[in-house]
Every structure is written in structure tokens, then in C-alpha cells.
Amino acid sequence: MGNVFIVGNAGLDLQLSLPRLPEIGETLLGSDAARAPGGKGLNQAVVAARCGARVHFCAPIGTDAHATEVEHALATAGLAALDLPRLPVTTDFSFLMAFPDGENSIVSSGACAAALTFDRVAPALSGLGANDILLLQGNLSRDTTAEALAFGRRRSTITLFNPAPLWWDASAVLADCSLVIANRGEAEMLAGAGSLRSLGAHAAIVTLGAEGCVLTDKDGEQAFPAEAIDAIDTTGCGDTFCGVIAAALATGLKMPSAIGLAQKAAALTATRPGAFASLPSRDELQAMYNWPGQE
């Protein structure tokens, strides 16, 4: 079983349930206020660790009280290794708006993630090997992301990339991606009517919400239907999907089996509110599959 190395962001999530998006100049009253550790990198690392993977997680945090809160939360997350470079900026946070139809909108700060340079990441990747998985998201800068993915390819690692949020031209790094995982909107923004493989990715998964997902690789295109559920809140579903894919591939599972597990876990996430709070537990993931390292 290989290790899973995840480089990304970590911060706090502040969530409110809203009936709709507010109009310009309008103040809406929300409900079900919640606060939890968050960030795409953090969520994906926690899910992969709960699957039983040996997860090495590197993410920048600030020097404020929020950073200490994040650090304490991760200390009990079951990670094999944790590297949290302290940067002289405010710890990142996200404001999550959940709507009655189960969909969501998210606004995030990103100065801390954007300030992380590859020289601060390199020590956390020193043990990266050919049997391992390297997973990144779009929160870091283009240069740091490109250097990390290229480093992984030189180590013959399986490199995974989840390009959200799209704030720079992610197509520039796809040639170093063994697998890119994007939702429909992200894929269209990157490739238009073409495919992510045409931009250089060795394989691509495009997630389609209730319609499932589509895998495109050297063997062609294969569709995977979604689990039939009544979605309450889709926040965190993409992070659950990515975390499970990384852990499953680290165990040696073939891609169709990995996708099947990721679909089940993401569907479970959508049946409850929140992001971090909705992530599947170790027991729930164990019930789906006999993950190595779990009792």
C-alpha cells in the first residue's frame, strides 16, 4: 500500500443556510450557523486518512488564533505526517451558503494558500516514491502547484489534481497529471467543448452531480451513474470523492472500483449538512470497503 501525500489549503469554514442568494444591497437572515475546520486540502486529507491511508498533509496556516484552531483539529485527524508552515498572513477561511435544494455557493479567502512557495513544500515531499499518490487542488499558486506536480512525475508518483477553485490557467499543469478530477463547470472552463485529456492529462474524471461522473482515459470514455439519494447539502461531496479516490488508488484498486467507492462516499456526504461535519466517518468508510489499516 502506497502513501498519500496531499498538498493544499487548510482553514476554517463558516456556514449558513439561506433561502437563496441575496440581491445586491440586500441583507438576508440565515439559519443553522456552523463553524468547523475546512479547506479543500484539509477535507481531502481527512477523508483519505479515515479510509486507512497513510496520509502526509502539508498546508500553510497563519499566525493567528484561527491557525491554532486548525492545528488542534488536525492533530487528532489520524494523519501519518503533518506539516503546517506558518506564514505571516491571515489563515484562510470560507463562507459556505447552503440552499434548500441541496446546492451550495462558497466564497473563500486564499492569501495564505497563495503565499506558499515550493521550497516550503519540498521537505514534506522528501519521502515521495513510485508507489505513492500525490494530490493537489487549485488553491495554491500556479508556480507552487506546477513545481509540486512536476516533482511528483519525476518521482514516478501517481499525480492527482483537483483544479478547483479556478483562479489561474490550470490547463498549464495538466501534462504532469496522471488524473485530473473536475466538475462539469470546471471542465468546460478549462477545455470548452474538448476533453481534459486533450490538454495533456493522462486521464480525467468529470463529476456531474446527480448524473454521476465520466472517466476518460486511453481506453475511451466510461460513464458511472450516481447513487440514488435525497440530497440535503452537496458541500464537501467533491472533497470526499477526491479523498476516497486517492486512498483507493493507494491500495492498488483499479479506477472503476475506486470511482464506485468514491461515488458511495460522496452520496453519503450529500445526505447531511455542512462540509467537515458531513465527511464520512472511519466506520462508515469501513462499511463500504475493507480498507487496509482499519480494524
| Residue 293, pLDDT score | 56
| Residue 295, pLDDT score | 41
Mean pLDDT by 10 residues, the chain (295 residues): 96 93 94 93 97 97 95 95 97 92 87 97 97 97 98 97 96 96 96 90 96 96 93 91 98 96 96 91 92 59
| Residue 73, pLDDT score | 94
Q: Cβ neighbours of residue 199 under 8 Å, at least 6 residues apart?
A: 171, 174, 175, 190, 191
pTM beyond 0.75, yes or no:
yes
| Residue 106, pLDDT score | 85
| Residue 101, pLDDT score | 86
Domains of the chain are 4-19+31-282 (3.40.1190.20)
**CA dist list (Å): 252 to 45, 114, 117, 172, 249:** 18, 33, 31, 28, 5
Pairing of strands 93-98, 81-83: unpaired
Q: Cβ neighbours of residue 1 under 8 Å, at least 6 residues apart?
A: 53, 54, 131, 250, 251, 252, 292, 293
| Residue 188, pLDDT score | 96
